[in-house]
Amino acid sequence: MRRKHGSYELYNLMEKCLIEVTLTVAETKTAKEMDIERLLIKEIKGLAMQLSRYKPADWNKFLDVVIK
């Protein structure tokens, strides 16, 4: 994906999808082609697991912010 779309463009598209910014038609097409939703969920779950294992205090602070 990075080779086809570029790292910067891929990062921006993933960020927009994550914070639910309205996408352009081209971005929507690219997101559907790459199945960004599935990729984001997989990556975020992996990062959450690592954070909870290796820095539990930071994980607890994060959850406090999310819950409020």
Q: Tens of pLDDT along 1-35?
A: 556 666 678 778 888 887 888 999 988 998 888 88
pTM for the full predicted model: 0.56
Boundaries of every domain in the chain: 2-67
Given this model, what pLDDT does residue 59 score? 86
Show Cβ contacts of residue 45 under 8 Å, excluding neighbours closer than 6 positions: none
What's the token pair of residue 13? 């598209």
